[in-house]
Amino acid sequence: MQSRCLTVLPVWLFGSASIGMCAPNPSQWVPARWDGGPLELARRAKDKTLSAEAREAIAKWYQPATLDLLNGTPINALLITFSIGASSEAEAKQQQLAGKYARMARERGVAVLGVVYPGADSLAVARGAVESRLDGLVLDGEFPAGFAAKVESALRARNSSVPVVPIWRDTASARAARLSLLAVEGVRPSARNLSDMGIRAGPSAEPWIESNIWLVKSLRGGPEWRPIWINQQPNPGLLGDYVRCVADAAVAGGRWIVAPDDDLRSRLFRREAGALGTWRDIATHLKFAEDHAGWRSFLPYGNVGIIVDAASQDPEVSNEYLNLVARRQVPYRLIARSALSQELLAGFQAVLAPDLAAPTGIERLLLSDFADKGGLVVAGPWWGNVPTVEPFAEIRIGKGRAVVYKDNPPEPEAVSKDLMELLEPDVLGLSVFNVPSVISYVSTREKQALIQVLNYATLPSNRVTIRFNGNFNAARFYTPECAPINLPVHAAGNNRTELLIPQLATWGAVLLE
Amino acid sequence: MEKFCNTFSRRDLFAVSGLAAGALAVKAQESGLSVPAGPVSVAKVVSYDLDLVSQFEQMFDQIGGLGQRVRGKTVAMKLNLTGAMGRGRQVGLSAGQTHWVHPNVVGALTTVFAKLGAKRIRLLESTFRKRYGAPLEDTLLNDGWDVNAIKNSAKIVEFEDTNGLGTAKQYSTLKVKTSRPYIFSAFSVNHSYEDCDFFVSVGKMKNHEELGVTLSMKNLFGITPELLYGLTPQPPGASQWVRERVFHYGQVAPPAGVPQEIDLTSDRYEGWRMPRLLTDLCGARPIDLAILDGIETLIGGESSGMPGTKHAKPGLLVVGANCVSTDAVAMATMGYNPRAGRHEAPFRLYKSPKDHPAEQLVPPGETQQYADNTALMGEAAGLGTADLSRIDVRGVPIKHAMYDFEAHWKGQAPV
């Protein structure tokens, strides 16, 4: 595990709360939700699912012993219950407890951030954070407009530079936010049978996968890595869900805000062996992610580009393109609409612009030129020549083509499915076989390619065949649970390399050189 | 099953007013036909990891041996790979465990045919892909098959996607050679179904949404090439699926130059058409050996995307030289009466109005529909007997092999 102590602290971290402390750099924070105390019980007063054991664990969570749970784990940033907008007495009592706990945590090199819920008072929260010497504040929920700015302003007025981290619910706004640490609400990673969801699907329908890989990738923003936190609660009833949550956030370089559910928390509090085993598994996967932090500097791979339009009329639909295309194992890179240029497009072979709102003449020209030179443009009706019967029409343009959908916006599921037929394997770059419950993510650095695969099923996935563009002579397979092994590689024709992963439990990464 | 027997839907009343359902169940010998009745072997096999090579050798011996018919010949196996993309799955299960034949079954069969002296072994299926030309092997990789191991299990093993022309320059026309073609008198198919000496239908023992069960005869539906039959433009309102609009519902005629339907005024209801069409297909491309994989399977439908379907482990293999008899024995091991009529399980069906054309629900809105018994249609056409009293069942007796599919079927219908 990396040292939690930094040799050099960044200037922005120096605030009244952190001077002289050994709290880590926010970019290195490995966060965990550490809800507890009387205020947490008050917040969940109406929660009928809360057992007596869980209630006790929450009430006593800020006893010093719970910090021992961090031993041997990379977790170094705790998100503690701080303000829910309760009475000033209740809030003060909690913040006093939080301050004491935060001091003990910092002595271990662990940062502590206060979680603030809607109803809280911005000035009181800022004052409390400074008095409790917190390392930051996390805003969880729907707050009035300007609340975060007010808290930040109040903090700065008290000479504190600790960060205020809102957990974004709106992905488009999060993408536009120029923050060095981004936290977003994610989904609970899972795979489900469509038939179990009451959906009649065709014989080739894959299980429905909920994943955050696309989300983390879409928030990256640029070539430089920045920490992205995914906030979501796993399914307590499913073993293995926790490690999947860790991996699901980490594959594209994010971090899951570790969130033990009530049952695990109460059993951890009682130091039950099974719970400690689950906790160790979580730690193993977190450590795997942090041990391979270098992979975060690899850049997303893809010959396919998806234009992300900040002015999209329906951001949910725009996100669904990113989500579903990833689910079809199509490696892609994001193209910010504002960055569209001939030079940028020259690095792609296909570009998706299904929901471009009111494209300008220059944008049309750029995309037409791209197609003319041999590229594929996937567009909505805005392109023109809209088919009247068929769901889409293919129009030849010079050496390339445009695929124009009838519907506005084109249905994301249809677009993602059609891509598999519209694009040749060498344009896709990656072909992965036997992965109905798996999502892959490819990134590259110089002559290395990293192909990560994450299994969302509870059973292992066997015999996963991978073909990737390029001639590679070595493949090393990394998993959290085993030492790395070399995989035999074969030339697959058409300048591609083929390899076989014999078994994938949850998370695996193939490094091709 | 009992509860369905005296329950007529409104559609049934319409149906029996025309062609009586019971008439279809007339025993072949009573109708004066002399139909073949080959032996059928049944085995209980609890796992795909057992020695399936020895198992099939034993079963082939039990039905009289295949050596003479296979030695020096080209053996073609039509595999049941429903959907044929390999992506449709239940979470955590391979397609071979649910709705495809399992790769270990196919690998073992390839080995056995090689040991019996087959000159060439060909694995065939028509894929569902819009982009034709990608090798069939890639489809198999999608279910984690060890394709190289299968290729290495015999001297010449070839794979062909028969959804189009494949390696040939033209389609083969196969005439229906039964005593009474029902819907088509001939079919155009990929050359592979003509260019073989010994044809094997390797099916999965499953339920079927529209036909009650799908076995070795139903498996031949996949020999019809979509790329040929789909050349006729799709009229507005017709099914988006080529095979449905041409075969299931008869909404459009096959393209010019391809054998046409015998009687365009015949019933358009799929429960009536499909059993007859399958009989025609089995008459056009006779099955020399029927093999049914029921070691693991799906109950309640032919693919895992259907609500109510359930993975099961019946632990069954059924092998026979006569497809009708083999299917009849298989139905019995599934807990069904192989001579059941359209009112009885598994031929009494629920059809969701959401997923079927309105005209397929007669009277309109009626969700309790029926299919005719394909085995009985085959028997009536002289392909073989579905009468258990005339079939020599070898290996494990039916009563010891039986796995009650119906009892395990959760059912799609809001019962």
Biggest CA-to-CA distance, chain A: 73
The string of pLDDT tens digits covering residues A241-299 is 899 999 999 999 999 999 999 999 999 999 999 999 999 999 999 999 999 999 999 99
Chain B nearest-CA residue for A328: B87
Closest CA–CA distance from residue A217 to any residue of chain B (Å)? 25
Confidence of residue A202 (pLDDT cuts 50, 70, 90): low
Looking at beta carbons, which residues of chain B come within 8 Å of A192? 91
> Tokens 């044809």 belong to which residue?
B199
Low-confidence ranges of chain B (pLDDT < 50): 1-10, 12-29, 31-32, 413-415
Q: Which of A466-480, A485-499, B297-311 has the lowest mean pLDDT?
A: B297-311
Higher pLDDT, B412 or A406: A406
**Of the partner residues A193, A201, A202, the one whose CB lies closest to the CB of residue B91:** A193
Distance CA B328, CA B62 (A): 17
Answer for the pair A357, A309: CB distance below 8 angstroms, yes or no: yes
Average pLDDT, chain A: 92
Q: Is A113 on the interface with B (CB under 8 A)?
A: no
Q: State how far the Cα of A266 lies from the Cα of A262, in Å rounded to an integer.
A: 6
Find, among A477, A80, A53, the residue nearest to A267 by Cα: A53
Q: Tens digit of pLDDT for each residue in A292-346?
A: 999 999 999 999 999 998 878 889 999 999 999 999 999 999 999 999 999 999 9
SS3 for A324-384, per residue? HHHHCCCCEEEEEHHHCCHHHHCCCCEEEECCCCCCCHHHHHHHHHHHHCCCEEEECHHHC
Chain A hits for B351, CB-CB cut-off 8 Å, are none
A73 vs B: CB within 8 A: no
Give B146's contacts in chain A (Cβ within 8 Å): 463
B208 vs A: CB within 8 A:
no
Question: Which CATH architecture fits A11-297?
Answer: Alpha-Beta Barrel (3.20)
Domain ranges of chain A: 11-297, 303-427, 430-512
Provide the CB-side half-sphere exposure for B268 (13 A, CA): 18
Helix spans in A233-360 (H): 241-250, 262-269, 273-291, 315-327, 342-345
Q: What is the pLDDT of residue A422?
A: 93
Question: Which one, of B191, B232, B80, B224, lies nearest residue B143 by Cα?
Answer: B80
A82 within 8 A of A95, measured Cβ to Cβ: yes
Q: How far is CA B5 from CA B9, B341, B410, in A?
A: 11, 9, 19
With beta carbons under 8 A apart, name residues in chain A contacting B89. 206-207, 436-437
B92 contacts in chain A (CB < 8 Å): 437, 457-459
Q: pLDDT value at position B413?
A: 44
Q: How far apart are CA B176 and CA B149, in angstroms?
A: 36
Q: Tell me what pLDDT residue B350 has.
A: 82
State how beta strands A485-487 and A475-478 pair: antiparallel
Which residue on chain B is closest to A435 by alpha carbon?
B142
Q: How far apart are CA B82 and CA B99, in angstroms?
A: 7
Q: Does B306 touch chain A (CB under 8 A)?
A: yes
- pLDDT of residue A200 exceeding 70, the answer is no
For A202, which of B86, B88, B144 is closest by C-beta distance?
Answer: B88
Task: Kindly state the tokens that stand for A475.
Answer: 């493949």
Q: What are phi and psi of A41, to 5 degrees?
A: -65, -40
Q: What is the total residue count of chain A?
A: 513
Q: B82 — contact with chain A (CB < 8 Å)?
A: yes
For chain A, say whether B385 makes contact (Cβ under 8 Å): no
Q: What is the pLDDT of residue A458?
A: 86
pLDDT of A201 higher than 70: no
Answer yes or no: do A200 and B306 touch at CB < 8 A: yes
Interface of B with A in 92-121 (CB under 8 A): 92-94, 99
CB pairs under 8 A between A and B: 96
* pLDDT (0 to 100) of residue A237: 66
| Structure-model confidence comparison of residues A170 and B352, the more confident one | A170
> pLDDT value at position A178?
82
Closest residue of chain A to B305, computed from CA coordinates: A201
A488 touches chain B (CB under 8 A): no
Find residues 222-241 of chain A whose CB sits inside 8 Å of chain B. Answer: none
CB contact under 8 A, B85 and A433: no
At A424, is the secondary structure helix, strand, or coil? coil
Mean pLDDT of the region A21-31: 83
Best of B81, B130, B141, B143 to substitute, by most chain A Cβ atoms within 10 angstroms, is: B141
Architecture, CATH, for domain A303-427: 3-Layer(aba) Sandwich (3.40)
CA-wise closest residue to A511 among A482, A492, A489: A489
Structure tokens at B82: 């429903």
Q: Which CATH architecture has domain A430-512?
A: Sandwich (2.60)
Q: What are phi and psi of B139, to 5 degrees?
A: -60, -40
Write down the domain spans for chain B. Answer: 35-339+370-405
Rounded CA separation B91/A459 (Å): 8
